């Protein structure tokens, strides 16, 4: 029900490709949990998307696609 829901779905696929790349490079955090998402990971993702030619607004939407569910889970007290 999100505005631009298809674009957010594409952003999730971009994150999945990024995680796959980190896994191939043996750089995937183990375990891959919310607390493993740090500035190094975010910066690497931004570099990954820039290298693909993604524009800043697209990268921002990709980051929102990760941030949104985390913020929701915090609000719902599913994670701390």
Q: What is the pLDDT of residues 26-70, one digit of tens each?
A: 999 888 899 899 999 999 999 999 999 999 999 999 999 999 889
* pLDDT score for 6: 75
Exposed, middle or buried, 80 (CB in 10 Å: 0-12/13-18/19+)? exposed
User: Per-residue confidence at 8, pLDDT binned at 50, 70, 90?
Assistant: confident
């Amino acid at each position: 029900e999100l505005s631009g829901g298809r674009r957010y779905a594409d952003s999730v696929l971009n994150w999945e490709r990024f995680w796959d790349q980190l896994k191939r490079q043996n750089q995937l955090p183990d375990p891959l949990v919310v607390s493993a998402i740090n500035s190094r990971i975010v910066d690497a993702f931004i570099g990954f998307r820039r290298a693909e030619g993604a524009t800043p607004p697209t990268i921002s939407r990709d980051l929102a696609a990760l941030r949104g569910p985390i913020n929701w889970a915090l609000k719902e007290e599913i994670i701390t």
